[in-house]
Amino acid sequence: MQIAFNSKLNSGCISRQVGAVVTDRNFSVKAIGWNDVPEKQLPCNLRNIQDLINDEVNNPNHFSLYERTGTVTINKNSSLKFKELVKSDFSNFHKESLEGRNCSFCFKSHQNTYEFEKNQVHTRSLHAEENAMMQIVKYGGEPLLGGNLFTTASPCELCSKKAFQLGVKYIYYIDPYPGIATQHILQNGIDKENNPILRQFYGAVGRTYQKLYDPFMAYKDELLLLTGISPKVPEQLKAKKVADVLLSKVTDDSVKNKVKEILNEDNSLEIIVDLITKSLNRNDH
């Protein structure tokens, strides 16, 4: 879920940022997605309303033909230009109030208001879940049959249908997204055992995850500081290392055999050190 949580930050949606991850049944990540416009369209957060409503348009291709020239039907006999409606909404806009920040706008909110509708299809973005699932269609990958969908917002009806169709088994979400997806789609299988299982995620995510799992130093170093315990070279190994040096220098077979015999003793290191010390003392005289 942390991957889904992080990926939502890539979203250019100014209404809500959502992140999603799809995995196979073994939780091996197969694709990641976030809600955003189709590739090579301009995300909402980068569009400037002034490019649409000012008569001197700087970037006309930042806005769709509909936004620039389309009309909203008011009733059978009358319609109003979308752009004029937006213009009227922004008639009191003073860019100074944003202190240099970009003034974008949410097409879905405006269009729905003008139509007196609540049509989520008007969102310019693909949903995070569908974007994740479509990565596999776009770039290739493995089927999601029996797999998992992690999403920071529960799936809408459209994404639920797609997850159902792909045979996703478990859907984990953080925030409930309004709608009838669960009762109407996810629980609607003829054989109930084929229904995807929707589970609200519990556990640490975001900054909490970071705080909980990010050690302030390597835990083994912290343990060393607290307990003073660290691995020690066994005495026998030390003896062997010293003996190896001795054996590489000595040519006399009887001395070599003596060294090998000493190595079999429990206190071999002590004996070797003792012998070397005695030999050094002898040389002193």
Residues at the interface with ligand DCM (CB under 6 A): 13, 15-16, 18, 35, 120, 123, 125, 127-129, 151, 153-156, 159, 177
What does 206-269 look like in DSSP terms, one character per residue? THHHHHHH--SS-HHHHHHHHH-------HHHHHHHHHHHHHHH---HHHHHHHHHHHTSTTHH
Q: How far is the CB of 138 from ligand DCM (least distance, A)?
A: 17
Token pair 């949606």 in the structure block, residue:
13
Shortest separation between residue 131's beta carbon and ligand DCM, angstroms: 8
Cβ distance to ligand DCM smaller for residue 15 or 236? 15
| Of residues 15 and 71, the one with the C-beta less far from ligand DCM | 15
Shortest separation between residue 112's beta carbon and ligand DCM, angstroms: 9
Nearer to ligand DCM, 130 or 259 (CB): 130
104 phi, psi to nearest 5 deg: -95, -175
Least Cβ distance, residue 14 to ligand DCM (angstroms): 9
**For ligand DCM, the closer CB: 116 or 216:** 116
Nearer of residues 48 and 112 to ligand DCM, judged by Cβ = 112
Cβ 133 to ligand DCM shortest distance, Å: 12
Q: Which two tokens stand for residue 189?
A: 């299988």
CB closer to ligand DCM out of 15 and 188: 15
Distance CA 108, CA 99 (A): 25
Name the minimum Å distance from CB 151 to ligand DCM: 6
* Shortest distance (Å) from residue 103 CB to ligand DCM: 18
In terms of CB distance, is 127 or 162 closer to ligand DCM?
127
Q: From CA 200, how far away is CA 174, in angstroms rounded?
A: 6
CA distance 28 to 147: 9
Q: 50: closest CA among 17, 79, 7, 93?
A: 93
Considering the complex, state which of residue 121 and residue 255 has its C-beta at the smaller distance from ligand DCM.
121
Q: How far apart are CA 50 and CA 93, in angstroms?
A: 10
- To ligand DCM, the closest distance from the beta carbon of 145 in angstroms equals 21
Distance CA 224, CA 13 (A): 48
Q: Which residues contact 238 (CB under 8 A, 6 or more apart)?
A: 269
Cα 13 to its chain centre, rounded Å, is 17
How many alpha carbons lie under 13 Å from residue 164 in its C-beta half-sphere? 23
